[in-house]
Chain A
Amino acid sequence: MNNLRWEPYLLASCLKAEGLLQKHFLGEKRLLFILAKGFDIRMNFVLKRLLELCPDINIECWLICFNEGEDSSSHKYAQRVQKNFDEFKLLMEGKKYEEKCINLWKEEGNRKRRIGDREAASILNNYDDIKNYSEIFVDISALPRGVYFSLIGKILHIIDSKPENSKSINFVVTAAENARIDASITENTIDTEGKFLVGFMGGVKSLSEREESLIWLPIMGEDKEPHISVAYGELEPTEVCPIFPFPAKNPRRPDALLIKYHKLLFDRLKVEPQNIMYVPEQNPFEAYKILVKTVRNYNNSLQILRGCRAALSTFSSKLLSIGTLLAAYQVNIVDKQDIIGVMNVDARGYEIENIDAWEEFNKESELFLIWLTGAPYEL
């Protein structure tokens, strides 16, 4: 039970990632590249870089097109979406791509609920859907958290339960990381309720039905007070262990976050100072290791009280969110304990500042490869 599925791990960024891609795609490969059609300028960043580095690659794309509903404020960026799509078509000229449309919402009278996670997970059903590919890349650069979690979880699950003797698949999550672009996008209509993502519900029940303690491990990021309040209200945890990104590019970042959230954490959430934890800002695998270790420790310590369940939330970068995904996958599916839920609080729309400067900002985007299955783990 102390083993870790991703230890050692393969994480590469920037030039190292580019070199790795060039080397990896030298042989006969067939790649399924999954990305989202969206307004984020990073939508084509990874695909473009990949095609520049490996122009002869045998690639097929699934383009996830999500319907955000009529009242989403993101509609005002339709031109931006079209521009990205035009660029995508140009990049994929002569190559095969398929649009996979999903609804983020299901409407019922005046009410609606999020179904994007379930819809995303259902774009593939079983191993037959992916058996013809040697590589699967999911690029999360323009995908919302509420969509890519369940999708990645499902792909991992299918690969892990593939028929014996079938060939291995290299499954890689890619991201174009850029703090300036992240900071220029503000979520403006936060959901009033949090949601456990499909495949990562972890058997967490409401307070009145719960028989064990619930530990909440939120990874903190900027401007997320409403998200944190909503998730806390939904979870009503026994214990909160806020996690701050550190080491970070800006070494003062955790201090700034702590000052910003002081009242919320200590007055409302009643956090004990010794519960504060840190994970490296740009390493999802290290975050995963820390999260898994923490949950296992809590669960062992609380065994006499019927153990515990844990809820993970990422209010920080997408890279770190992959760390929470891997931790939940490790404990729930690899360890078969099913005690971690991933609580997500989404937004109905986005506001963008400095959109004119995006082209410039995008030059600083960093390519990340988070290698999850396949060759590196079979050595």
Chain B
Amino acid sequence: MSQRTRNPFKLRASEKIESDSTFLRIYSPVILEDFAEKHKEQKLWNDVLFIRSSPGAGKSSLLRIFEPITLVTLFNNKSNPSLKDLREYLKRIEVMDNNQIRLLGVSLHCNRNYEILEDLPIDDIKKKRFFFALINARIILATLRGLLSLKSLKFPEDLDKINFDYPNPSADTAAISFPCTGSQLYKWAENIESRVYKALDSFLPIDQIQPEGHNELFTFSLVANSKIYINGDEIKIRILFMFDDTHKLSLGQREFLLKYIIEQRKNYNIWISERLEALTDKENLRSYLERDYNEINLESIWQKKESKFKSIVTNIANRRAQISTEDVPEFDQNLADSLNEAVYKDDFEKAFNVILKRIELFSKQTRKFVDWTKYLKSADLSPLERLSLARATEILVHKNLTQPQTTMDMELSEKELLAGINSTIQNASEYFISQEFKLPYYYGFDRVIQVSSYNIDQFLQFSSELYEGMLSNRLSTRSSVITPEEQQKIIKRVVNEKWNELGRLIPFPEQVKKFLQRFHEYALKETNRPTIPYAPGVTGFALKEPSELKLINDGFWLDDELYQPLVNVLSTCISFNLLEKREISQGKKGSDAETVFYLNRWLCVRFNLPFGYGGWRHIKPGELIKWTK
């Protein structure tokens, strides 16, 4: 297959990037800092770790780093300066050092074949036994492949160079006698796998196939406790079992597997990577803080480290742009981050006059704003600066008029005006101007990062189309820079495509869309209040009971059948990253954190809302349920 990468932003999920060296070149390892922290707290190894997120946050890419072949590629490129960061992180968590790789990652991808076992016309006990047998077989096959990769040996020719000596054989392993060669073990596992596979796919009755079933997941112990030799030398290495996509298992299978692993807790290193949709509605909607197991939620990590997310996506964007064949090696610098003032001069002046007239109307009722108006007219500012100042002034006028009357009707000074304009009001002004006068708002690299809502795949969805715009511009105008108007047009187009495809991607699509629309109407109304009490706008909500019901547990609605449609909608929104859940502490130190559900930022574009996370409102569950209907 071709190695051409005209638009490398279109290479999305890690598993679709064929070459390990390409993957390593474009992978940004910042996320591993959290693993280093866990390691420091002694919570990374000898335990079960859940890695969770909504789709596209980078779970599979993360696991791919720990696969033997990736580690070998990295280890063999010791002098490559672009991989230095990654090597350093891996040293910190004891995955490799300068002399050797110290980890064998056994990767188990939970595809749909496991789930199909549930549809066989056999009893539940047999289904569970076949499920365990299939996992056992695949653990062995993945371990053997991993060992060969780690030692750069050939598959399957070199399987005989591996020897396993397992001290605790059981009835399930009766078909093999230890010590045995890798080749013998491979044949045993392959036979089990192919028979289960045949049972899944055959038109023959299952009793004619007779696949092997197992009562225990004994291969964790077999791999972790065996003495493993390659070419006669004992291999002493940490073994990490990585289950990817466990949300693809049936509910029963996932429960069996997790229960088995958690109850056993035999200090094996087991990572379970899954989408949030694997969790029950309650697990999804309750606070992260209530979970009592070792978990890394990729999106919530970024929420706490906004600047890190910016650095990771900048890194990703630039690494990808550099491997394009089209000679557009920069991404962020090709996104114009301000409006062309010469082009928009007339628009700015017209808009300024409209706002000025509105402020002058207030000046007719009170003398307070006379100096402010004079200053607006005389200040030595560019048309855009003057327009921003005018809109900010208008907000302050409204705020001032709604405050209780503590002063006489005395003129407010220019100094008081400038002191009142903080960054929140400036941001709100920009947003209100863009909405009222139809000027671009969703443009510039910072906003492209914001629209990604801490999801790498989402960032790539937008950036791949923006990069396509850069490539087109370069062909037609020789400049790769895309204007704010072009950026907004592209971003809106991607957003509309995402909105339209919701119907096929999520459960309860009609109710979810209705709910989001209703929240949008509410948020727009709250955002557009003249005094902007929730600047820069309302884009989130927290569930709150009416005060007279304080004796009732805040989460009562989660168990109430009447609220099931709301539970379905909210859980779907969390699982599919339409709402971002954040824990927000307000008021006094030590007060309880609120769980706030913010719109994913691409929905803010859909609904013409600003990007800031400041504004949210309490809404009663009784009100929210109406929005689902």
Contacts and interface: CB of A to CB of B under 8 A. Distances in A.
A191 B509 CA distance: 13
Given A113-B115, A347-B504, 10 more contacts: A106-B118, A110-B507, A110-B572, A201-B113, A206-B111, A208-B244, A233-B16, A267-B10, A268-B10, A270-B1
B10 A209 contact: no
Interface stretch (B199-207, B222-230, B621-629): B199-207
A201 B251 contact: no
B194 A203 contact: yes
Nearest to A150: B203
Nearest to A347: B504
Interface in B1-45: 1-4, 6-7, 10, 13, 15-16
A147 to B, nearest CB: 15
Interface in A99-138: 106, 108-111, 113, 115, 118, 121-122
B503 A188 contact: yes
A181 to B, nearest CB: 23
Interface of A: 71, 106, 108-111, 113, 115, 118, 121-122, 153-154, 157-158, 188-193, 195-196, 198-203, 205-209, 211, 226, 233, 236, 238-240, 266-268, 270-272, 306, 347-348
A267 B112 contact: no
B256 interface: no
A158 B203 CA distance: 9
Interface string B374-406: 000000000000000000000000000000000
B155 interface: yes
Contacts of B155: 211
B109 A157 contact: no
B138 interface: yes
Residue picked from A110, A199, A201, A238, most chain B C-beta under 10 Å = A110
A102 to B, nearest CB: 12
Nearest to A110: B507
Contacts of A206: 109, 111
A193 B112 contact: yes
Contact of B251 (A111, A157, A190, A266): A111
B1 A272 contact: yes
Nearest to A153: B203
B107 interface: yes
Contacts of B201: 196, 198-203
Contacts of B113: 201, 205
B281 interface: yes
A110 B281 contact: yes
Residue picked from A190, A191, A209, A347, most chain B C-beta under 10 Å = A209
B203 A271 contact: no
15 contacts: A71-B508, A110-B572, A122-B121, A188-B503, A189-B509, A192-B504, A196-B201, A199-B203, A201-B201, A203-B194, A203-B201, A207-B15, A208-B15, A266-B6, A270-B3
Interface string B595-620: 00000000000000000000000000
B234 interface: no
Interface string B137-160: 010011001000000000110000
B250 A108 contact: yes
Nearest to B9: A267
B377 to A, nearest CB: 52
Given A191-B504, A192-B504, A209-B138, A154 B203 contact: yes
A189 B503 contact: yes
B505 A192 contact: yes
Contact of A208 (B10, B107, B505): B107
B251 A239 contact: no
A110 B280 CA distance: 9
B243 to A, nearest CB: 11
Interface in B494-515: 501, 503-505, 507-509
A108 B249 CA distance: 11
A105 to B, nearest CB: 11
Contacts of B568: 110
A326 B501 CA distance: 33
Contact of B571 (A71, A110, A118): A110
Closest 3 CB pairs of A and B: A201-B201, A189-B504, A157-B203
Nearest to B3: A270
B109 A209 contact: yes
Contacts of A347: 504
B123 interface: no
B290 interface: no
B200 A201 contact: yes
B119 interface: yes
Contacts of A122: 121
Contacts of B302: none
B194 A190 contact: no
B197 interface: yes
Given A209-B109, A268-B10, A348-B504, A201 B119 contact: no
B251 A109 contact: yes
Nearest to A193: B112
B13 A233 contact: yes
